[in-house]
Amino acid sequence: MIVTRFAPSPTGSLHLGHAHSALTGWRAARRAGGRFLLRLEDIDQMRCRPEFAAAIPEDLAWLGLDWDGPVRVQSEHFADYRAALGRLQAAGLLYPCFCTRAVIKAEMARSVAAPHGPEGPLYPGTCRALEPAERAQRIAAGESFALRLDVAAALARCAPLFWEDELAGRIAADPASLGDVVLARKETPASYHLAVTLDDALQAVTLVTRGVDLFAATHIHRLLQALLDLPVPRWRHHRLLTDATGRRFAKRDRAQTLRALRDAGHAPAEVRRLAGFPD
């Protein structure tokens, strides 16, 4: 059975781009007689707000969507993420990174050709080479650190990995293109990459539908699935909806939020049409 999901972060109001994404997952599930799930990705508690979280189900219901089972709220599941981190740590695949953003920037400015990935400059690996004694001493001194995935060490344990995108076809996973990503921080004990991968598995999602802006992230998610023995779904990275001027919708565009369109008198069917689903 096909299981899809919509997994917004409550850091703002849903806009037409979100509606497109939600409708993509909902339609795929409902047409196939499958399940459609809703998940709130609120691990970044500094940026998420309860009023946005409360508005998301309301806006989706108004738009005509329904979902199966309770809404999964990520901030209620830090124990799951901690357990997965523990497994990766026990396997020797994580290292503490003490670099502040300023230190990383300075390091990159020093190297002539700082490697770039699809999401920007890559972490230069400064803390990967630290001696265990120095790590222990800095942690004991109370220095703040993030946990990064040692991608080279992780890849050394896996056979070549592939993933299937319904639009782009079979893709060879290239997690190294994103560098040693952060999987946890002091103030946020799970990263997007870790939480999304684990939750899709825990919720038995079989088809991940999301915007093509997250295409590159899938290279890392595929690696995490291999490391944590998780089932591998299929993906459909859909196009990003743009406004009349060709710009992507963003949370700052107040006029294009579902709430604003509704308050302006648009009917749900009209908003579904604006979101690219005319029928």
- From the CB of 20, what's the least distance to ligand GLU, in Å? 12
Nearer residue to ligand GLU within complex by CB, 9 or 225: 9
> What is 229-262 written as a DSSP string?
T----EEEEEPPPB-TTSPBP-TT-GGGBHHHHH
CA distance 167 to 212: 10
Q: Measured between alpha carbons, how far is 229 from 149 in angstroms, rounded to an integer?
A: 16
Number of residues that bind ligand GLU (CB under 6 A): 7
Residue ranges in 101-130 that form contacts with ligand GLU under rule CB under 6 A: none
**24-43 footprint of ligand GLU as x/- string (CB under 6 A):** -----------------x--
Closer CB to ligand GLU, 22 or 99, in the complex? 22
For ligand GLU, which is the closer residue by CB, 20 or 210? Answer: 210
Decide if 172 contacts 162 (C-beta within 8 A): yes
Contacts of 188 (CB under 8 A, 6+ apart): 43, 44, 45, 46
Report the candidate in 151, 81, 90 with the shortest Cα–Cα distance to residue 122. 151
Query: Closest separation between CB of residue 199 and ligand GLU, Å?
Result: 9
Determine if 214 is a binding residue for ligand GLU (CB under 6 A).
yes
**How far, in Å, CA of 61 to CA of 43, rounded?**
23
Q: Using CA atoms, how far apart are residues 122 and 143, in angstroms rounded to an integer?
A: 23
- CB closer to ligand GLU, 94 vs 208: 208
In contact, 226 and 27? CB cutoff 8 Å: no
Q: How far is the CB of 214 from ligand GLU (least distance, A)?
A: 5
Q: Which residue's CB is nearer to ligand GLU, number 110 or number 252? A: 252
- Return the residue of 181, 196, 201, 227 that touches ligand GLU, per CB under 6 A: 196
The answer to whether 7 contacts ligand GLU (rule: CB under 6 A) is: yes
- What residues line the site for ligand GLU (CB under 6 A)? 7-9, 41, 196, 210, 214
